[in-house]
Amino acid sequence: MTNKVFFTLFIAGINLIYAQQQDLTKYVNPIIGTEKMGHTFPGATVPFGSVQLSPETDNVPYSINHKYNPKTYDYCSGYRYEDKTIIGFSHTHFNGVGHSDLGDFLIMPTVGQLQLNVGVVEDTKTGYRSHFSHENEQAEAGYYKVKLDDYNIVAEMTATIRVGFHQYTFPQSTNSHIIFDLNSNIYNYDDKNTWTYVKVINDTLVTGYRQTRGWARNRTVYFAMTFSKPFKNYGQKNEEQNLDYKGFWRKWNENENFPLIEGKKIKMYFDFDTSENEKIKIKFAISPVSQKNALQNLQTEIPDWNFEEVRKQAKENWNKELNRIQINASKNDKVNFYTAMYHTFINPTTYVDVNGEYKGLDQEVHQANGFVNYTTFSLWDTYRALHPFFNLIQPTRNNDIVKSMMKHYEQNPIKMLPIWSHYANENWCMSGYHSVSVLADAIVKGVYTGDANQALEACIVTSNKRDYEGIGEYIEKGYIAAENNSTSVSNTLEYAFDDWSIAQIAKKLNKMDVYKEYMKRSENWKNNYDISIGFMRPKLANGTFKKEFDVLDTHGQGFIEGNSWNYSFFVPHNPNELINVMGGEKKFGAKLDELFSMHLPDEYFENTEDITREGILGGYVHGNEPAHHVAYLYNWVNQPWKTQEKIRMILEMQYKPTPDGLGGNDDTGQMSAWYIFSALGFYPVQQGSDSYAIGSPLVDNAVINLENGKHFIIDVENQSKKNIYIQKIELNGKVYDFYNLKHQDIINGGKIKFYMGSKPKK
206-218 tens-digit pLDDT = 999 999 999 999 9
Q: Which fold has domain 324-757?
A: GH92 mannosidase fold (3.30.2080)
Task: Using DSSP, state whether 410 is helix, strand or coil.
Answer: helix
Q: What distance in Å separates the CA atoms of residue 707 and residue 393, rounded to the nearest whole number?
A: 7
State pLDDT tens for residues 365-397: 999 999 999 999 999 999 999 999 999 999 999
Q: What distance in Å separates the CA atoms of residue 762 and residue 757, rounded to the nearest whole number?
A: 12
Q: Which of 55-64, 194-203, 468-477, 571-580 bottoms out in mean pLDDT, i.e. has the lowest?
A: 55-64
Q: Which of 493, 494, 474, 475 is nearest to 484 (CA)?
A: 474
* Range list for CATH 3.30.2080.10 in the chain: 324-757
Q: What distance in Å separates the CA atoms of residue 560 and residue 99, rounded to the nearest whole number?
A: 14
Per-residue confidence (pLDDT) for residue 7, from 0 to 100: 44
Instruction: With beta carbons less than 8 A apart as the criterion, state whether 530 and 547 touch.
Output: no
Q: What distance in Å separates the CA atoms of residue 290 and residue 566, rounded to the nearest whole number?
A: 46
Per-residue confidence (pLDDT) for residue 379, from 0 to 100: 98
Overall average pLDDT of the 77-99 stretch: 96
Overall average pLDDT of the 63-81 stretch: 93
**What residues pair up with 662 in beta bridges, in sequence order?**
34, 655
- For residues 65 and 728, the model is more confident at 728
Per-residue confidence (pLDDT) for residue 22, from 0 to 100: 95
State pLDDT tens for residues 124-166: 999 999 999 999 999 999 999 999 999 999 999 999 999 999 9
pLDDT at 121 over 60: yes
Instruction: With beta carbons less than 8 A apart as the criterion, state whether 228 and 203 touch.
Output: no
pLDDT at 9 over 60: no
Report CA dihedral (491, 493, 496, 498) to the nearest 10 degrees: -70
Q: What distance in Å separates the CA atoms of residue 165 and residue 158, rounded to the nearest whole number?
A: 5
Residues 6 or more apart whose Cβ sits within 8 Å of residue 96: 33, 34, 39, 40, 76, 77, 343, 662, 665, 666, 667, 668, 669, 671
Break the chain down into helix, strand, coil percent, rounded to 5.
30, 25, 45
Overall average pLDDT of the 576-600 stretch: 97
Q: Which of 597, 591, 605, 619 is nearest to 533 (CA)?
A: 591
State pLDDT tens for residues 617-671: 999 999 889 999 999 999 999 999 999 999 999 999 999 999 999 988 999 999 9
CATH code: domain 51-320 is 2.70.98.10
Per-residue confidence (pLDDT) for residue 404, from 0 to 100: 98
**What residues pair up with 170 in beta bridges, in sequence order?**
278
Q: Which of 352, 364, 367 is nearest to 300 (CA)?
A: 352
CA dist list (Å): 614 to 34, 222, 340, 392, 622 = 10, 41, 19, 31, 9
Q: What whole-number percentage of the chain has pLDDT above 70?
A: 97
* Range list for CATH 2.70.98.10 in the chain: 51-320
Per-residue confidence (pLDDT) for residue 38, from 0 to 100: 76
Look up residue 546 and give its DSSP letter: P
Q: Which of 517, 479, 526 is nearest to 499 (CA)?
A: 517
State pLDDT tens for residues 385-435: 999 999 999 999 999 999 999 999 999 999 999 999 999 999 999 999 999
Report CA dihedral (519, 520, 524, 530) to the nearest 10 degrees: 110
Q: What distance in Å separates the CA atoms of residue 738 and residue 317, rounded to the nearest whole number?
A: 38
Helical segments of 249-362, H only: 291-301, 307-322, 331-344
pLDDT bracket for residue 8 (50, 70, 90): very low
pLDDT bracket for residue 262 (50, 70, 90): very high
Integer Rg of the chain from CA: 27
Task: Say what the pTM is.
Answer: 0.96
